[in-house]
Chain A
Amino acid sequence: MALLEVNNLGVSFVTRNGTNRAVDDVSFTVESGQITAIIGESGSGKSVACYSLLGLIPQPPGRIDSGQALFGGRDLLQLPEAELRKVRGRDIAMVFQDPMTCLNPYMTVGKQLVEPLRYHQKTPAAQARRRALELLQEVGIRDPESTIDNYPHQFSGGMRQRVMIAMALINEPQLLIADEPTTALDVTIQAQILQLIAELQRKRDIGVIFISHDLAVVADIADQIVVMQEGKIVESGDRTGIFRHARHPYTQKLLAAIPADSKAGATLSPEPLIQVRHLATWFGQGRKQEPVKAVNDVSFDIRRGEVLGVVGESGSGKSTIGRSLLRLVPVTAGQVLFDDTDVTQLKGRALKDMRRRMQIIFQDPFASLNPRMTVYDTLAEPLLLHGIENRSSVARGVLKLMDDVGLARNFVRKYPHEFSGGQRQRIAIGRALATHPEFVVADEPVSALDVTIQAQILDLMLALGREYGLTMMFISHDLAVVRHIADRILVLYRGEIVEQGTGHELFENPQQTYTRELLQSIPGRSLLQ
Chain B
Amino acid sequence: MSDASITDIAQAEQGTSLWHDAWLRLRRNRLALFGLGILVLFITIALLTPWIAPYGYAEQNLDLGASGPSAAHWLGTDIFGRDLLTQIMYGGRISLAVGFIATAVALLIGVTWGAVAGYVGGRVDAVMMRLVDILYALPFMIFIVLLMVVFGRNLLLLFLAIGAVEWLTMARIMRSQVQTLRQQEFVEAAVSLGLSPSTIIRRHVIPNALGPIIVYTTLTIPSVMLLEAFLSFLGLGIQPPQTSWGLLISYGAETMEEYPWLLLFPGLALTLTLFSLNFLGDGLRDALDVRGSRD
Total contacts A-B at CB 8 Å: 110
Pair B186/A352 contact, Cβ less than 8 Å: no
Query: Which residue of the partner chain A has the closest CB to B4?
Result: A396
- The B-contacting residues of A in range 319-371, CB under 8 angstroms, are 323, 326, 328, 351-353, 355-356, 358-360, 362-364, 367-371
Residues in A whose Cβ lies below 8 Å from that of B184 = 367-368
- The A-contacting residues of B in range 187-220, CB under 8 angstroms, are 188-195, 203-204, 207-208
Is residue A267 contacting chain B, with contact meaning CB distance below 8 A?
A: no
Are A360 and B189 also in contact (CB < 8 A) when A396-B2, A399-B8, A413-B9 are?
A: yes
Query: Which residue of the partner chain B has the closest CB to A323?
Result: B188
Is residue B14 contacting chain A, with contact meaning CB distance below 8 A?
A: yes
Residues in A whose Cβ lies below 8 Å from that of B204 = 370
Is residue A245 contacting chain B, with contact meaning CB distance below 8 A?
A: no
Pair A393/B186 contact, Cβ less than 8 Å: no
Measured CA separation A374–B20 after assembly (Å): 13
- Per-position 1/0 for B101-144, Cβ under 8 A of A: 00000000000000000000000000000000000000000000
- Which of B2, B17, B195 is in CB contact (< 8 Å) with A372? B17
Is residue B16 contacting chain A, with contact meaning CB distance below 8 A?
A: yes
Measured CA separation A385–B14 after assembly (Å): 25
Pair B193/A368 contact, Cβ less than 8 Å: no
Q: In terms of DSSP, what is the predominant structure of the interface of chain B?
A: helix
- Distance to closest chain B CB from A227 (angstroms): 27
Measured CA separation A369–B204 after assembly (Å): 10
Is residue A438 contacting chain B, with contact meaning CB distance below 8 A?
A: no
Number of A interface residues in the complex (CB < 8 A): 50
Measured CA separation A413–B295 after assembly (Å): 23
Query: Which residue of the partner chain B has the closest CB to A354?
Result: B194
Pair B194/A367 contact, Cβ less than 8 Å: no
Residues in B whose Cβ lies below 8 Å from that of A323 = 188
From A109-117, A215-223, A414-422, A497-505, give the one contacting chain B.
A414-422
Is residue B6 contacting chain A, with contact meaning CB distance below 8 A?
A: yes
- Which of B191, B208, B295 is in CB contact (< 8 Å) with A328? B191
- Distance to closest chain A CB from B3 (angstroms): 9
Is residue A253 contacting chain B, with contact meaning CB distance below 8 A?
A: no
Residues in A whose Cβ lies below 8 Å from that of B19 = 372
Is residue A428 contacting chain B, with contact meaning CB distance below 8 A?
A: yes
Is residue B185 contacting chain A, with contact meaning CB distance below 8 A?
A: yes
Is residue B13 contacting chain A, with contact meaning CB distance below 8 A?
A: yes
- Distance to closest chain A CB from B29 (angstroms): 14
Residues in A whose Cβ lies below 8 Å from that of B15 = 374, 411, 413-415, 418
Residues in A whose Cβ lies below 8 Å from that of B14 = 413
- Which of A360, A385, A417, A428 is in CB contact (< 8 Å) with B195? A385
Are A409 and B2 also in contact (CB < 8 A) when A16-B295, A362-B185 are?
A: no
Measured CA separation A322–B191 after assembly (Å): 14
The 8 A-B pairs at the shortest CB distance, nearest first, are namely A414-B15, A355-B194, A368-B185, A352-B194, A362-B185, A396-B5, A372-B207, A15-B295
**27 pairs, A vs B, C-beta closer than 8 Å:** A17-B295, A328-B188, A355-B192, A355-B194, A364-B185, A367-B184, A367-B186, A368-B185, A368-B186, A370-B186, A371-B208, A374-B15, A376-B9, A382-B194, A392-B2, A395-B2, A409-B8, A410-B12, A411-B13, A412-B8, A413-B9, A417-B294, A418-B15, A418-B16, A428-B189, A431-B193, A432-B189
Question: Apart from A360-B192, A371-B208, A372-B18, what 18 extra A-B contacts exist at CB < 8 Å?
Answer: A323-B188, A353-B194, A360-B189, A367-B185, A369-B186, A369-B189, A370-B208, A371-B18, A372-B17, A373-B203, A381-B195, A385-B195, A399-B8, A399-B9, A413-B9, A413-B14, A414-B13, A418-B16
Residue ranges of A at the interface with B (Cβ–Cβ < 8 Å): 15-17, 61, 323, 326, 328, 351-353, 355-356, 358-360, 362-364, 367-374, 376, 381-382, 385-386, 392-393, 395-396, 398-399, 409-415, 417-418, 428, 431-432, 435
